[in-house]
Structure 1
Amino acid sequence: MDDQTQTILSEPRQTSARRQSRGRRVVRLVLIVAVLIAIAIAGTRYWLYARQFATTDDAFVDAYTTQVAPRVAGQVIELLFADNQHVTAGQVLLRIDPRDYQAKLDQAKAQQASAEANVLQAQAQFAVRQADLRQAQANVSVAQADLLQAKQDFDRFKTINPAAVTRQQVDSTVAAYHAAEAKLQASQASVGGAQAQVEAAQAQVTAAQASVAQAKANTEAAELELSYCTIVAPSAGIVTHRTVDTGNYVSKGQPLFALVQDGRWVTANFKETQLAAVHPGQDVNISIDAVPSVTFHGKVDSFQAGTGTVFSVLPAENATGNYVKIVQRVPVKIVFDDDRIKNYSLMPGMSVEPAVRVR
């Protein structure tokens, strides 16, 4: 077969191959365009969905934590909880040796009893002094009557003819009159002395009553210190971070363990630029890293009255040096509105990703 014949036979095959190549390029182009359109549609749908939420990954589970410390010093004689145990409010957790404080209470009670006895004694003495005062006042009345009688006799003798009475009678009448005056003055002075003694007795009663009040206060203080030997849970929660054991001597105010209370919420640090769309009461979807298969529900509760840097140990001082503007974050409290949290052990500090529905 000559060359011309081969050329004529190969032309249809080349034409077919070119057609197939163009067809494959068209298919690839269509696929690429379709993929790009699908990506654009998916991206648009995701953007339309995501713009309905304000999110942050700077969030964590929060709870109130109480650092429990003794209010009296002493040796721990009983530890009534285990590490990470859940306790109820009022449950006894620890006991400190109460013997020293019981002795102080007994001493305070004895001093109170002595003070109360002194009050009774002072009151009895006051009653005696009041009786003495009444007797002195009665003596004044008697002396006044005697003086009145003596004065009447004296005046009578002055009107009688001196020749009708003897000199002895006149002298006796004058002496009786002066004696009655002296007796009255003495009685009146006795009343003053008795009154002073009554006031002194009243002061002793007041002082004794003040001693009783002080003794009662000392007794109550001793009872209070004795009660501090028993440490109870201030609220329901989980006891953790224990640093004490039976036999340890503890000081007043020394942290012994922490009590993480039962309530849980989320503290989310949103950027200040996100807060315009966030308001209390909005629904929140809460994803917790420790429970990846569950999305919890909650609501925005409140905003902290200041950014995180305001309440830090070393607040930023922007009035000095070169200032570089940084977007601040504001802690937002989100409360759970989902009973399912009871089925999971959510601990303070766990990472959370909240999504607040803003549209």
Structure 2
Amino acid sequence: MDEPRRPPVTPASAGEPEELLKARKPFYKRPLLLALGALLLIVGAMVGVRYYEYAVSHEWTDNAFIDGHIIYISSKVAGHVSRVYVADNQEVAQGDLLLELDPREYTARLAQARAALQAAIAKEEAAQAQVELTQVTAEAGVQQAASGVELVRATVETARVQVAVARSRLDQARAQVETASASAAQARAQIQMGTGARFSLLPPENATGNFVKVVQRIPVKIIFDPLPDSDYLLSPGMSVVPVVQVK
């Protein structure tokens, strides 16, 4: 005997809940998901358009550095630095004390100049006394004494010239000591720019080999206007990522 056929089992006949039946609806029959997907597409398109417009109208590079200016500050005399009153990348103003020179060398020169002056004065006085002595003894031999007097007078003139030279050296040594002991910047300082400084208008590009074609890059300088805030230290040599609006 043939067994009776059973009817096919359907979700409704299996007693499945109605929520599962609704959850199995196709995607295109779910308006909430369709609206959410459309919203995401619109937002993505807007973000993409804005990014494209920004990329087209702006240029940027990560191969940039903060540059600086070379400023030479020199004193009237040269010498050894004894003290430094400034640090690297410190802001200074006109009249600030930067360095001090060791005044011992100039003090020694001043003492030598004073000693030379005293010796020249003593030599002049001795020559003058010799002239007076020669004039007294000239009565015994006028002709012989006259030549001696002229010789001694020439010696006196030479001594006077030496005194004048010694006084000039003394004044020069005093001026050097005053300059070395002044409260202004008294040494030669050099404020150097940081790494990556360029001095030529179009610096050559480094290339290896003779058959390598290197595109010439033109340097671009960006000047801070107004000056950056002093609370944020920007020193020469720092790397930056500048963004320039070209359109």
Higher RCO (CA 8 Å, separation ≥ 6 residues): 2
2:105 to 100, 103, 113: 100
Task: Tell me: CA distance 1:317–1:46, structure 2 relative to 1, closer, same or farther (3 Å).
Answer: closer
Distance 2:181 2:200 in 1: 38
1:91 to 75, 88, 96: 96
Q: Which residue of 1 aligns with 2:233?
A: 345
Bigger proportion of residues as helix: 1
Task: Tell me: CA distance 1:94–1:7, structure 2 relative to 1, closer, same or farther (3 Å).
Answer: closer
Distance 2:63 2:182 in 1: 41
2:221 to 318, 333, 337: 333
Q: Matched residue of 1:342: which SS?
A: coil
Q: Percent of aligned positions with the same letter in both sequences?
A: 31
Task: Tell me: CA distance 1:331–1:217, structure 2 relative to 1, closer, same or farther (3 Å).
Answer: farther
Please state how far the C-alpha of 1:98 moved relative to its aligned partner: 1.9
| Root-mean-square deviation (Å) | 5.4
Please state how far the C-alpha of 1:92 moved relative to its aligned partner: 3.2
Per-residue CA distance 1:40-99 (angstroms, 9 max, x = gap): 33122122123222222222333346688993148x3xx463756655433334444423
Q: Which of structures 1 and 2 has the bigger CA Rg? A: 1
Q: Which residue of 1 aligns with 2:175?
A: 223
Please state how far the C-alpha of 1:108 moved relative to its aligned partner: 4.0
Report whether the alignment pairs 1:357 with 2:227. Answer: no
CA contact 1:54–1:357 (8 Å) conserved in 2: yes
Per-residue CA distance 1:262-304 (angstroms, 9 max, x = gap): xxxxx999xxxxxxxxxxxxxxxxxxxxxxxxxxxxxxxxx96
Task: Tell me: CA distance 1:108–1:62, structure 2 relative to 1, closer, same or farther (3 Å).
Answer: same
2:210 to 301, 322, 337: 322
Q: Matched residue of 2:230: which SS?
A: helix
Distance 1:29 1:347 in 2: 55
Distance 2:11 2:92 in 1: 98
Distance 2:45 2:27 in 1: 27
Instruction: Give the number of aligned pairs.
Output: 200
CA contact 1:60–1:352 (8 Å) conserved in 2: yes
AA of the residue aligned to 2:108: A
Residue segments in structure 1 that go unaligned for 5+ positions in a row:
119-200, 235-251, 262-266, 270-302
Per-residue CA distance 1:123-142 (angstroms, 9 max, x = gap): xxxxxxxxxxxxxxxxxxxx
Residue segments in structure 2 that go unaligned for 5+ positions in a row:
125-153
AA of the residue aligned to 1:306: L
CA contact 2:113–2:169 (8 Å) conserved in 1: no
Task: Tell me: CA distance 1:106–1:347, structure 2 relative to 1, closer, same or farther (3 Å).
Answer: same
Q: TM-score, normalised by structure 2?
A: 0.51
* Aligned 1:1-359 pairs, distance under 5 A: 3-4=6-7, 20-23=25-28, 32=37, 34-64=39-69, 71-73=78-80, 76=82, 79=83, 81=85, 87-108=92-113, 216=168, 219-220=171-172, 223-224=175-176, 227-228=179-180, 232-233=184-185, 305-307=201-203, 310=204, 316=206, 321-338=209-226, 341-359=229-247
Q: Matched residue of 2:48: which SS?
A: helix
Please state how far the C-alpha of 1:20 moved relative to its aligned partner: 0.9
Task: Tell me: CA distance 1:97–1:323, structure 2 relative to 1, closer, same or farther (3 Å).
Answer: same
Task: Tell me: CA distance 1:317–1:60, structure 2 relative to 1, closer, same or farther (3 Å).
Answer: closer
Bigger proportion of residues as strand: 1
Q: Matched residue of 1:104: which SS?
A: helix
Distance 1:215 1:330 in 2: 60
